[in-house]
Amino acid sequence: MGERRTGTVVRLDKHTRRRRRFPVKLRYVIVLAVVVWGVYTYWFVQRPLLEREAASKAALYQELKVAKSQARLLTQQIKELHSNRYIAQLAEKKYNLIQPGEILFTAQSAGK
């Protein structure tokens, strides 16, 4: 239909050539659309998510730092609880217990 034969050479009409070049341009448009979609998705969707995650990560690192310092203090307190002297001090302060041979004095305020 769109072909002319002259000897062994097949020539295509101009109409057939135009149909052949159009899909190449359409490919470029499709590739450009995919690239634009990818840039839009990154810039307006993924980047804000990544920024929120980075802020969350920084907050968690701060909490971890606080937790480590509390763990250090608790470890020190555990070590102190293994000494008899510290236990005796706690018993005197919290429960008003005394050592053998000591006398307990209580002072009342003048207003009562």
Confidence of residue 14 (pLDDT cuts 50, 70, 90): low
pLDDT of residue 71: 97
Per-domain residue ranges for the chain? 3-95
* C-alpha dist (Å) from residue 59 to 6, 53, 64, 80: 79, 10, 9, 32
Confidence (pLDDT) at 112: 58
Residues contacting residue 4 through CB under 8 Å, at least 6 positions apart: 10, 11, 13
Considering the entire predicted model, what is its pTM?
0.48
Q: How much is the pLDDT for 24? A: 66
**pLDDT digits 0-9 by tens, 35-90:** 999 999 999 999 999 999 999 999 999 999 999 999 999 999 899 889 888 888 88
Q: What is the full DSSP assignment across the chain?
A: --EEEETTEEEE-HHHHHHHHHHHHHHHHHHHHHHHHHHHHIIIIIHHHHHHHHHHHHHHHHHHHHHHHHHHHHHHHHHHHTSHHHHHHHHHHHH----TT--------TT-
pLDDT bracket for residue 25 (50, 70, 90):
confident
Pick the residue with more confidence: 35 or 109? 35
